């Protein structure tokens, strides 16, 4: 299965805010929704989808297994729990949210369990998130590159992941960029704003178009309907070579998702 180029992220969205965000996103044309067990909003995401009127088969739904559920039986049970909350009999993509810290549960246990979830029909595709080059190599040795639908990692103009991205592309593993606006930091950047002005676009559209033009999938979030609709228009914005060159020099290794005790040793 091909990971959709554009989806809705739901990180940090809770309760009515996530219900409204998903409902509005589906209403303006989104057909991919990204959630995770640790977000604590799977039930609300499931409610919004069920009440949206959009057929479940038209929606690409992603969730992620949290690090506390990596033992084989726990992983499968936790995914059953996610499906119940999401009001569906299967998701389209299930990711390992972070590699097991300090290899507390070996990859050789939780990745085959994830593959088993696919074999059982609980998920149509499987993948990884926040895996380094070395960890992705290990995952490939266990699953095979063709079984890894994506590696979902933080990428934005301030963190361009120039070692990991080419490696993933060489392996044929799709890149999903999260935190594409760096919590709003990049849309305040004068370079991004100037490019937006030249294209009569918003700075958010420029940052998203930059990722899309490199073949990444993006999953920005918003609680405002007008921003959801505006972000979606980034797919039709074409940046020039000069624009891309100006954005390239903004890379400063500015990482935002780096939780103590969980994050790996980044490339």
258/256 Cα distance (integer angstroms): 6
pTM for this prediction: 0.97
Catalytic status, residue 39: yes
264/96 Cα distance (integer angstroms): 14
Q: What is the pLDDT of residue 26?
A: 98
Greatest Cα-to-Cα distance within the chain, rounded to the nearest angstrom: 54
**Binding-site annotation: residue ranges for substrate:** 97
pLDDT below 70 — which residues of the chain?
1
Task: Check: CB of residue 33 under 8 Å from CB of residue 49.
Answer: yes
The structural domains of the chain, with segments of one domain joined by +, span: 8-248
Q: What is the pLDDT of residue 1?
A: 66
Q: What is the pLDDT of residue 136?
A: 98
Q: Which of 39, 110, 158, 178 is catalytic?
A: 39
CA 155, 160, 161, 163 torsion: positive or negative?
A: positive
Q: What is the pLDDT of residue 171?
A: 98
Q: What's the CATH superfamily of 8-248?
A: NADP-dependent oxidoreductase domain (3.20.20.100)
30/228 Cα distance (integer angstroms): 9
Q: How do residues 52-81 score in pLDDT, each as one tens digit?
A: 999 999 999 999 999 999 999 999 999 999
Q: Report the DSSP beta bridge partners of residue 152.
A: 129, 176
Q: How do residues 104-122 score in pLDDT, each as one tens digit?
A: 999 999 999 999 999 999 9
């Amino acid at each position: 299965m091909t990971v959709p180029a554009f989806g809705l992220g739901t990180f940090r969205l809770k309760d009515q805010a996530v219900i409204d965000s998903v409902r509005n996103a589906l209403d303006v044309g989104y057909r991919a929704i990204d959630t995770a067990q640790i977000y604590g909003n799977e039930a609300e995401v499931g409610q919004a989808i069920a009440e949206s009127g959009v057929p479940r088969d038209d929606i690409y739904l992603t969730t992620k297994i949290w690090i506390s559920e990596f033992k084989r039986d726990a992983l499968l049970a936790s995914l059953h729990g996610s499906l119940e909350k999401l009001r569906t009999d299967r998701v389209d993509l299930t990711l390992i949210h972070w590699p097991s810290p300090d290899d507390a549960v070996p990859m050789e246990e939780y990745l085959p369990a994830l593959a088993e979830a696919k074999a059982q029909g609980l998920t149509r595709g499987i993948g990884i998130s926040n895996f380094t080059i070395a960890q992705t190599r290990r995952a490939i040795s266990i699953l095979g590159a063709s079984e890894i639908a994506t590696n979902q990692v933080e990428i934005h103009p301030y963190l361009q992941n120039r070692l990991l991205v080419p490696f993933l592309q060489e392996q044929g593993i799709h890149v999903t960029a999260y935190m594409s606006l760096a919590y709003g930091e990049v849309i305040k950047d004068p370079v991004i704003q100037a490019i937006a002005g030249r294209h009569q676009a918003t700075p958010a559209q420029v940052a998203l178009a930059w990722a899309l033009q490199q073949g990444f999938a993006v999953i920005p979030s918003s609680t405002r309907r007008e921003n959801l609709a505006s972000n979606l228009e980034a797919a039709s914005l074409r940046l020039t070579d000069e624009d891309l060159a100006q954005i390239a020099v903004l890379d400063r290794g500015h990482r935002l998702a780096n939780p103590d005790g969980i994050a790996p040793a980044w490339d």
